[in-house]
């Protein structure tokens, strides 16, 4: 199952002349295909700036979780599980020149901070006090994984050891990477509002 793994390479499978994103998710150690992530946003919802990215396990096509964007003037970016229950939220850093996001659980507890070069897919997910890493995203891995990172349309997601037994943390970390590369970038391309792109201001 996809969420049993800890190192992923996400490869864009988007079609030309389509604004909808789709991705293949493979194991970063072996290259084995694990799952897919597809933009399933309806036409009218897309016009209002909403979005839904569904992540499914390749073995049985089961829905694992979704990253959603709702709202019109004030966007709300969330991760929901296969039962439609919110497991976490992303909020834009309001007073940060470098951009980034805060991550909260369903009850509003501050879980993590996303910091780094988001548009270049080089950033980390760290604890709120910035004392420990929870995960990272990069296009510059070495070893076998380097051959899987083919061009600007692929990037790696690493889950830190402290989070390998936490499926919710994995959803939020992988979901953040997918959201940055799809929902948030799509919003930025429409609004030309900069790198941070989404979520409620914090």
Q: What is the pLDDT of residues 96-150, one digit of tens each?
A: 545 689 999 999 999 999 999 888 889 999 999 999 999 999 988 876 667 778 7
H helices of the chain, where?
43-47, 144-148, 167-179, 185-191
Measured between alpha carbons, how far is 61 from 168 in angstroms, rounded to an integer? 19
Write the CB contacts of 168 (distance below 8 Å, at least 6 apart in sequence). Answer: 87, 88, 105
pLDDT of 178 above 70: yes
Instruction: Give the pLDDT score at 75.
Output: 80
pLDDT of 193 above 70: no
Write the CB contacts of 121 (distance below 8 Å, at least 6 apart in sequence). Answer: 137, 138, 139, 155, 177, 180, 181
pLDDT of 192 above 50: no
More confident residue, 194 or 129: 129
pLDDT of 190 above 80: no
Q: Are 195 and 96 in contact (CB under 8 A)?
A: no
CATH number of 2-201: 2.40.160.200
């Amino acid at each position: 199952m996809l969420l049993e793994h800890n190192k992923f390479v996400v490869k864009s499978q988007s079609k030309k002349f389509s604004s909808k994103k789709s991705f293949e998710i493979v194991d970063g150690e072996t290259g084995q295909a694990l799952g897919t992530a597809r933009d399933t946003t309806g036409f009218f919802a897309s016009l209002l700036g909403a979005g839904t990215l569904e992540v499914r396990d390749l073995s049985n096509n089961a829905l694992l979780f979704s990253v959603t964007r709702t709202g019109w003037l004030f966007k709300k970016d969330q991760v929901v599980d296969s039962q439609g229950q919110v497991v976490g939220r992303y909020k834009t850093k309001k007073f940060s020149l470098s951009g980034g996001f805060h991550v909260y659980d369903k009850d509003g507890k501050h879980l993590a901070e996303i910091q780094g070069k988001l548009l270049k897919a080089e950033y980390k997910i760290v604890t709120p006090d910035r004392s420990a890493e929870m995960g990272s995203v990069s296009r510059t891995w070495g070893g076998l994984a380097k051959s899987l990172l083919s061009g600007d349309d692929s990037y790696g997601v690493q889950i830190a050891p402290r989070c390998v037994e936490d499926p919710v943390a994995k959803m939020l970390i992988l979901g953040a990477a997918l959201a940055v590369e799809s929902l948030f970038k799509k919003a930025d391309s429409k609004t030309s509002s900069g790198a941070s792109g989404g979520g409620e201001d914090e």
